[in-house]
Amino acid sequence: MIWRGLTTGAALYITGDGAALKTPYGSWPGYLSFQEKDFDRAGEKAWGVGAKYDFGDGSLLPFRIPGLTVLLRYATGTDAKNPGPTHGALPRVHEGDLDITWNIPWVKGLQFRFRNAYVEDGGKDVVKAFRLILNYEIPLL
């Protein structure tokens, strides 16, 4: 759903018991492919929600910042099984992501990006992942 610069959505996936989804030529292109987890394990039932705001095109706030977008999303996966002969239960997984992208309007092709993920996967600690990314598209033609 899109409204005045705000985009929201939800997804639900159920993976069969036989095996996790296979992607031999790259990453899985699903809506629940997050920064750290893909929510595609054998037998997994997963759902997620997200919201993105475009500060350049949006009109919900009284100010604009061209090229800036912020994405917040959360997903959880349950009932995953080891696809091997034991079919043992795998832990519930939760992930929350924050993704801030700024396409600098006055320098064509320059982008700053901050990505942040928090993952709880049955371990003792919550996994925290932070990424700072600088992209620049070099015009070849």
Top CATH class of 2-136 equals mainly beta
How many whole angstroms separate alpha carbon 72 and alpha carbon 36?
Answer: 14
At a CB cut-off of 8 Å and minimum separation 6, what does 137 contact? 108, 109
Q: Is 80 exposed, middle or buried (0-12, 13-18, 19+ CB in 10 A)?
A: buried
72 in Cβ contact with 46 (< 8 Å): no
- pLDDT at residue 112, rounded to an integer: 98
Residue-level pLDDT, tens digit, the chain, 141 residues: 899 999 999 999 888 877 777 777 777 778 898 999 999 888 999 999 999 999 998 889 999 999 999 999 999 999 999 877 777 889 999 999 999 999 999 999 999 999 999 999 988 899 999 999 999 998 887
Domain coordinates of the chain in residue numbers? 2-136
Amino acid occupying residue 122: G
Residue keyed to tokens 């700053």 = 112
Overall pTM > 0.95: no
The two tokens of residue 1 are 């759903």
